[in-house]
Every structure is written in C-alpha cells, then in structure tokens.
Amino acid sequence: MLLASTFAWAAPDQPDAVVIRALRHPVDKSYRKMVQGMDLFTAMHALAPKAELRYRVLPRERDADLQGVALAVLGDTVKQPVALAADGTFTLARDAKALAEDAVVSANRPAQTMTWRADIRTPGLPPNVRRLGDLRLECQVGMRAGLVSQYPSVLDLFFGAVQSPAGYCNEREVRYLFFAEQPIFGVALHYGKRRQEMTAARLYAGVLRGQTPQSERRYCDCQALLDRAYTLPLGDASWPDDTLIELEPMAPSANDDDPLRGYTKAEARGALGEAKVLRFDSGYEVWAYEWSASDFIVLFAPDGRAAKSRLRL
C-alpha cells in the first residue's frame, strides 16, 4: 500500500521516477487538506498581503535527522516528487488526479519524527522579527491543512471538533505553537508606541506554567524544538495585523548589562528563592518566578552562571 511506503529518487536519466520501498507508518499528510490550506491562504491573503505561502517540515523528535529528507505526492497511480528547499520549505502544485486519488504528501521518515507547519513571511523584516498577520494566517492555514499533532483524550476530541480554523485561531488564548529560527528567551508584541512582553506561559509550550506536562510531551510538536516554541494572543483584536513580533534570542549579546549576569545558581537561589526550572538539552536553564502580577525569568548558560533576566510587570 502507498500509505505504508517510502521512496527514493531514481537514476539521473529517470528524474521523474519514484522507487517505492517498504516503511511502516511513514510521515504523511493529506494532499487534499493541504490544497484546502492553499485555498484558505488565497481567500484570507489580506492578513499577509505581501507574503507567499510555503509549507515547512521540522524535526519533532530530539534525535530526528532531516538530512536527506525527500517528499512526494503519492496516490494510487500518482507519484510526484516535491522539491524541498534547504530551509525545509516547499510548495505544492495543484493536481486534479492527485485530488481524485485522495493522495498523501509523504516523507521518507517514520511517523512522529517530523512536524509540519505553514510558513508565511512578509519579506524585508529584520532577523528575529515576525509579523502578527502572517502568524495569524499561518495558524488558519495550518489548521485547515491538518498540520496539528495527534493529541490524547480531551485534546484529541477538541481538535477533532474544530470545523473552522477561525473558530480556533481567533480565540484569545490559542495553543498553536510557533517555532523561532533559534532558541529564544523572550517574545514581545510591538506596534507604534505600544510594546508588551509575553509572559513565561507563552514560552516553551507553557511548560513553566504547568501546560504541556511530561505525560503529554510526547504528543507535542515541541519535543525537539521546545526552546524555540511560543504562542501568541492571536485573537486579541487590539493588536493589528501589522504588529511586529520581536523574538529575543537565548544567546546573550556582548553588550548585555543585566544586573544578575554572572550570578551562580546558588547566589540566585539565595537572592530570589526557589524557582520553577526548565532544563534544555543545550545546557541552558530557565528559572521562572511568579510574584503577584509580576513575571520574572532568569537564563543560566551551560557554565552554570546567569546570562540574562527579564521582568514583566
């Protein structure tokens, strides 16, 4: 069966051929749903008028290797290779035969090792800056295209009940995960003279505030990219689509003058008390404190000393 197959490209004199090999439970997505995502992008292009739609594959498991990943649209008779860019993005051609055969977009990797996202970017933005309208549309397209993970129990029923992407993505509190290009320490919304730092609950899949507990972590797209994951108040209409999302990298800059910089963990604990601690595979740790309406987090580098801190009032 095609749904239980993977593929490899044939020799150069047969560039369009696809060789089917057995692979149990490959990574695949519905071609029909991804085309519906493309249709939704066209219908809602006003959210991101200068952007184009691409889809993207990302690692889902810690040891997942995306080197050599190959994609193809596979149906009963349809076997079409999909060009994958160096950044893991791709586009799909519209094909009536693939739709008729209810084809899948399949990767030569086992299921649960990769995750998929819509990738919508207004050109010309600085590094580590995104645009809110782009991300609102990414959520809409991602939901319509069926790119969310499989969740257990109540969450599975919830996602299955979502008939319209707008019904989910327009909520003020949305657990749709976005991933930065590198590990992050902070996320801020900025429009005109208004600027708001996001709380620790919106970083790292909400782990610092009790969301995505360890028992659910294996269902989360964030396993390999937890230090890059964040959520946004997509349905908060007080932030217009042209709002900029500023992503603060985890790596400290040379001119950081943070008063806690250089503190050992023992010194920080003595000054601030016990914290909720999140450790990353990179060796970095984030310590989170919640004081009344304030939100304070400290980043410790792999050498065990504080690199930076952030207070949100």
Q: For residue 44, what are the domain limits?
A: 2-250
Whether 92 and 222 share a structural domain: yes
Strands 104-110 and 26-30: antiparallel
Whether 218 and 181 share a structural domain: yes
Burial (CB count within 10 angstroms: exposed 0-12, middle 13-18, buried 19+), residue 60? buried
Whether 260 and 207 share a structural domain: no
Whether 56 and 126 share a structural domain: yes
Domain boundary among 228, 250, 272: 250
Whether 271 and 226 share a structural domain: no
- pLDDT tens, the chain, 313 aa long: 333 344 444 433 444 444 444 444 567 899 999 999 999 999 999 999 999 999 999 998 877 777 889 999 999 999 999 999 999 999 999 999 999 999 999 999 887 888 999 999 999 999 999 999 999 999 999 999 998 765 544 444 455 545 477 788 998 888 899 999 999 999 999 999 999 999 999 999 999 988 887 777 777 888 889 999 999 999 999 999 999 999 999 987 766 688 999 999 999 999 999 999 999 999 999 999 988 778 999 999 999 999 999 998 7
Whether 259 and 111 share a structural domain: no
Strands 114-120 and 53-59: antiparallel
Report the number of distinct structural domains present in the chain. 2
Domain boundary among 202, 230, 250: 250
Domain boundary among 230, 250, 270: 250
Whether 157 and 302 share a structural domain: no
* Helix, strand or coil, per DSSP, at residue 128: coil
E strands, the chain, are 5-9, 18-22, 26-30, 53-59, 71-74, 79-82, 89-90, 104-110, 114-120, 129-131, 178-179, 184-191, 194-197, 229-230, 244-249, 276-279, 285-291, 294-300, 306-312
pTM of the model: 0.87
Please choose, from the candidates 33, 26, 38, 31, the residue with its C-alpha nearest in 3D space to the C-alpha of residue 162. 33
Whether 288 and 223 share a structural domain: no
Instruction: For residue 113, give both structure tokens.
Output: 């090792």
CB 205 within 8 A of CB 226: yes
Whether 132 and 280 share a structural domain: no
Whether 238 and 295 share a structural domain: no
Whether 256 and 231 share a structural domain: no
Measure CA of the first residue to CA of the last residue in the chain; give whole Å. Answer: 56
